[in-house]
Structure 1
């Protein structure tokens, strides 16, 4: 299966947290946490459609200003999600600047901020450039089973963790994925192309086998078409497989409650990005600072059945011991005992 999501940490393990998830088949990306994003090119920043902020400690939110600066003057709607109080914090950040010249802009960059609450409710407000980023008015709602974004091909779940303050962990889950077998297409004399996107959509929607699917492609100076039944294509060239799952966990106190929430959220993840702030011999210090140790991160990844654990958010005190942190995570993750 060709992966749809391409996740990568924006910074090194000792620097600000931010996970950039590029989409293979769309000109868009998601961002988890908003620390320093200067390593991202403007082109990459402008691909971002949604940002999921764990909490607003400065190392997780300092990138907001650069984000706004790059998007200003563009016709773009940017969605941000965060913990309780987040909408007000976004509003205050925007209110810290003077916007007297933006009313004449030909574009209307809009920030849509949503804050999540432990009881399953959420609050949303919008801030438009042409209205000098004044809040437009709160809207309230409820999310079910932690799902905070649900699109055709994927969803994002959130879970609350304790970091002395409410802190969010996230899971990006691709819905069932249709894998097209190119060798079977070749046997049928069919090309790849945009028509396959409609085929995949019809299969995932569970449409009837008798539905007609038309493949259209350019050949020489003209166009060719061929129509087959959805059922024939479903049987001969397509295979439905489980989609990818990417989990992101940071700034969590080493408590049993947090551990259970992390394991539930990250269950079966293909990629688990998880903080490893302290080595385990400093477990007491980790508890005081409300962070995970490397050993705990590895154990949680193993309990969750993650295929791969990617550690980040190391304490700067380990700059000369990076391999020790990575080794402790790996040993706990791979422990068969």
Structure 2
């Protein structure tokens, strides 16, 4: 199962660690301050997902790569347009004469649009960008695939949805047949929707579609992170398209409702708006995050109260 931990303290800039249960695999959403993020956790991060490069979401990138250098690993970095140039500039601002070229490699995935993801690679000591290819999907590994929405924050702000792979279970009690390799063949046919594939069971050829009743698809857990975004219908249309009926979504609720004018001016959301869009998306669970530093703890409690009232309103 996918789990998330907020690694920044209440008045720090936001950073969220995504973990896969029973795995050493970690992903990091945004690189704000993160006092609770350990060196061991950083060194287990295989992919970093940047919503946008305002300083409160990107300032701690240097602290992250400081503890990754020397691992010899390839780390994926996903982010909005021009993220490759910004990463290059950060890396080139230091002296690397003692670092071997095999110390690490970053694969940068620049999100131009939903259909256009530009892939670059970069490694020490000179950190010169190399264009690799353009592809039409963002990220997938053995545990998750990642969908996204490009939201307006007076700059592109990418919201990410981590989708655990679906699993298929076999109903042994309903089959009446002995176990065998035919079960894996049936699962493959089911995944590929290949109804006509022949499955041989105990010397008898069966049509796959006639055996699909023995299988159940279990939908993978879906966890979303929606950072800074303006309150407008175009943004909400994109949010609904990606995050509808997600299991858990963390969403920025930067301002109190009484400060809606600041939200509009700064292309941010506010408490009731964030709660309502989560209700409209019919998400199962949601958590408000990323509050203005201007607020006291009592202000944060007010934001959370108004947020959940909007989310649970009948």
Name the counterpart of 2:259: 282
**2:28 aligns to what SS in structure 1?**
strand
Kept after mapping to 1: 8 A contact 2:163/2:220: yes
Kept after mapping to 2: 8 A contact 1:125/1:135: no
Name the counterpart of 1:44: 41
Deviation at 1:202, TM superposition (A): 6.9
- Gap runs ≥5 in structure 1: 185-197, 213-231
Deviation at 1:40, TM superposition (A): 1.1
1:140 equivalenced with 2:140 (yes/no) = no
Q: Counterparts of 2:276 and 2:155 in 1: how far apart (Å)?
A: 24
Divergent runs of 4+, >3 A: 178-181, 198-212
Deviates further, 253-262 or 5-14: 5-14
- Gap runs ≥5 in structure 2: 174-180, 191-197, 203-210
- TM normalised by structure 1 equals 0.78
Q: Which of 188, 193, 211 is the equivalent residue of 1:205?
A: 188
Alignment of 1:71-110 (within 5 A): 71-103=68-100, 107-110=102-105
Q: Counterparts of 1:57 and 1:10 in 2: how far apart (Å)?
A: 18
Q: Which of 218, 223, 233 is the equivalent residue of 1:241?
A: 218
Distance 1:201 1:272, change over 3 A: farther
Cα shift readout 1:4-37 (whole Å, capped 9, x = no counterpart): 1111111234321222111113211111111123
Kept after mapping to 2: 8 A contact 1:14/1:312: no
Kept after mapping to 2: 8 A contact 1:247/1:265: no
Deviation at 1:176, TM superposition (A): 1.3
Q: Counterparts of 1:199 and 1:49 in 2: how far apart (Å)?
A: 35
1:326 equivalenced with 2:309 (yes/no) = no
Distance 1:204 1:333, change over 3 A: farther
Alignment of 1:49-68 (within 5 A): 49-68=46-65
Deviates further, 17-26 or 160-169: 17-26
Distance 1:148 1:201, change over 3 A: farther
Kept after mapping to 2: 8 A contact 1:12/1:312: no
Alignment of 1:161-172 (within 5 A): 161-172=151-162
Deviation at 1:284, TM superposition (A): 1.7
> What is the aligned-residue RMSD (CA, Å)?
2.8
